[in-house]
Amino acid sequence: MKHASVSEVRDEINSALEQVIAGWQGPRVLVDAMRYSLMAGGKRFRPILVVSASQVVGGGGIDPVPAACAVEMVHTYSLIHDDLPAMDDDDYRRGKPTCHLVFGECLAVLSGDALLTDAFTLIVRSYSSRPELASSLVRELSTAAGSSGMVAGQVLDTDPGAREAEGADLERVHHLKTGALLRACVRMGALIGGASERDVARMDRYGMLLGLAFQVVDDCLDATGDLATLGKDPGSDREAGKVTYVDIMGVDGARDYARSLIDDALDELKDYGERAVALRWLARRVVERTC
């Protein structure tokens, strides 16, 4: 894949996702629910990270788009489940009614399960000619999504007792809940691009810092935004009694902290020159975003 602009990569990912959906063989109502959430909009931030990280380390001649689509499927599964009444109990996502409001809680759970499972099938099928790479990509994504990554972060975020028992501070929760998948995105892209261990380590640190900054800004937006701007219910963290970076630092302090994290993330890209244009843009977009 040639170097492309962020908008071109987004268009390619959306087209590839449509092709993935066309191959689904499940019951129509299940496919409809999966498609509803997967194609409900969104910036495709995570899959673009996969493609951009691959480009930064040289490309390697292997197409990163299937892995990028798999990441978006896992991300969408997590949103469907996060929105459920048993979790964050949100009514809107990306400006539309959440999956469980449209299709019911049972089908929402199952559509999330299917997206998660099918993501790994997509990776294995797409990179079958390179089994070692396929294995590495599955390991990266499953680790980020599982009991030591996103799921762990969600447990600590929604269960104050678990957080207290684990002695987990806010930063650790967000490294798991948000940062784990973002780190996996850039690590997967780097592996597809044929990165050295040094490159993977740099991408890992970039992703870690980006993930934490992303969540800090999310806390600010949750405190200051509205439904029309955010595309989801604002103030849900406050209503749930969750401690956020805004509670600890105030809005201005939290935004300053996010900017410092992004500055550190950009430092990890300083040796990559023009190849890192997209990753630099994505990092700056984190602190500039309003939704």
Task: Report domain extents, the chain.
Answer: 6-288
List, for residues 240-290, the tens digit of each pLDDT value. Answer: 667 889 989 999 999 999 999 999 999 999 999 999 999 999 999 999 876
Structure tokens that stand for 241 in this block: 């009694």
CATH, range 6-288: 1.10.600.10
Closest CA to 184 of 291, 71, 15: 71
pLDDT over threshold 50, residue 1: no
Rounded CA gap, 212 and 218, in Å? 10
Report how far apart, in Å, the C-alpha atoms of 219 and of each of 20, 151, 216, 260 are: 33, 19, 5, 16
pLDDT of residue 235: 62
pTM score, two decimals? 0.92
Is residue 50 within 8 Å of 59, Cβ to Cβ?
no
Query: What is the percentage of the chain residues whose pLDDT exceeds 70?
Result: 93
Rounded CA gap, 213 and 114, in Å? 30
pLDDT of residue 224: 82
pLDDT over threshold 70, residue 219: yes
Rounded CA gap, 267 and 202, in Å? 10
Largest CA distance in the chain: 51
Closest CA to 236 of 108, 89, 79, 85: 89
Which sign does the torsion angle of CA 178, 179, 181, 185 carry?
Answer: positive
List, for residues 146-188, the tens digit of each pLDDT value. Answer: 999 999 999 988 888 888 888 778 889 989 999 999 999 999 9
Q: What is the mean pLDDT of the chain?
A: 91
Rounded CA gap, 169 and 149, in Å? 15
Closest CA to 70 of 137, 169, 131: 137
Across 58-67, 130-139, 239-248, least confident range: 239-248
Structure tokens that stand for 221 in this block: 């937006």
pLDDT over threshold 60, residue 2: no
pLDDT of residue 266: 97
Structure tokens that stand for 21 in this block: 């959906």
For residues 62-69, average pLDDT: 97
